[in-house]
Structures are given as C-alpha cells and as structure tokens.
Amino acid sequence: MPGDFKEKVSELLAKYSSGLWASALPKAFEDMYKVKFPEDALKNLASLSDVCTIDYISGNPQKAILYAKLPLPTDKILKDAGQPHGDYNIKSMIEQEYLQIEENIAKSADTFVENTTVPPLIIPTEASPSVLVVELSNTNEVVIRYVGKDYSAAQELMEDEMKEYYSKNPKVTPVQTVHVGQLLAVNAEEDAWLRAQIISTEENKIKASTVYFVIAL
C-alpha cells in the first residue's frame, strides 16, 4: 500500500463523525483523492487499526464501521504514554457526537418554535352562534366552546372515546420524553382527557396548547 495511504484514510474518516461503512471506503477514498483504492486494503481491516477504530458488526470481519481516531489531550498522552488508546478514542468520539446531536436538536427546536403559527379560527356561518362559557377568570380571560350543529356531538363523542381509551387501555404509559410539536393526551379534571400540543420546553417547564376542545379568547 502507498506510504501515505493510512494518513489519507484517517483524514477521510475525520469527515464522517458517525462513521463510515468499510464497504463504502473505496468509493469515498477515490472520490476524495482521485486515485485508485488499494485492492487488498479491505481484506485485512486490522491493519488500519492504528489510524481508525473498527467496529465489527456481529463479529463479521468483512462487515464493519470505521471511525476516525481523535487526537488525545496532552495530559492524557503524558499519563498513558505507551498504552493503547482505543477505549478513550471511542468514548471521546461518542461524547462529542452526543453533544453535537443535542446542539442540533436545540437549534431545530428553536427554529420550530419561531416558525410555529397558530391556525386561524373558522368563523361560524350563523349570524348569532351559540357558545358555552367554560372558564371565566376575568373580563380579559374567557374560555368558550362553540356549540354548533354536528360540532358539539362530534366533540363529545371524541371526548368519550378518549376517556374510554386512555382510562382503560393497559398499554397506555406516561411519556418519558417530549419534543416541540408533539401531540399528547393530558389527563384533566373529572377524568377528562384533553389533546395537547407541545409549544416549547425549558428545563423542567413545558408549554402546551390544547387542541380540538376549546377556543380561548
């Protein structure tokens, strides 16, 4: 193999933070360096272990994912000089990927919140529609429910079905994690169940809006 082959492989794998299938290495190598990939390089993947971490799938030596080895901090090199660093490389790589994933999720969530728009209310066609006052905190905070033909019956049917399903279905379990835009069923007063959508999350606080059930003014 060419003298700079391993160096090029290491440089190439550094561009794949999630790893690269060994079977895809030849094409990626040739696309990047415009030179032919050594034919025998994949027959002995262990020979690349000094420049990359090799994760064999199901113990199959011909099926593996290659990860770039990250440089060690100076203090780590001094402390463990002369010892193999495979475990450290894998741990460090996983930690960096985890932090990157968290950062990407946070950015996506912020973008989602910024672009979230509340759909417009459908104005009833009746001249004087009937409404039911659900909550009245003060003159500026009133929660009403539209009482119209077919609408109320459909809503009540949905409420009954949700109550039946979520109260008696043994497969229903509490949600462990939430994300912006997620639809959830929330247990409200008097064993009623409301459908809510997550608007934003901040530390231990979750902001959600109920959908389908009420109109808040």
CATH of the domain at 105: 3.30.420.610
Mean pLDDT of 120-134: 69
What pLDDT, on a 0 to 100 scale, did the predictor assign at position 112? 46
Structure tokens of 10? 């290491």
Residue 22 lies in a domain: yes
Same domain? 142 vs 110: no
pLDDT band at 215 (very low <50, low <70, confident <90, very high): very low
What pLDDT, on a 0 to 100 scale, did the predictor assign at position 212? 54
> Model-level pTM greater than 0.85?
no
DSSP type of residue 204: T
Residue 124 lies in a domain: no
* Total domains in the fold of the chain: 2
What pLDDT, on a 0 to 100 scale, did the predictor assign at position 30? 92
pLDDT band at 89 (very low <50, low <70, confident <90, very high): low
Same domain? 105 vs 145: no
Could you list the residue range(s) of the whole structural domain that residue 172 is in?
Answer: 130-216
Listed in sequence order, the DSSP H helices in the chain are 5-13, 25-33, 74-79, 86-115, 151-168
Distance between CA 137 and CA 171 in Å, rounded?
37
pLDDT digits (tens, 9 = 90+) for 162-207: 777 777 776 777 777 778 888 877 777 667 777 778 888 877 777 7
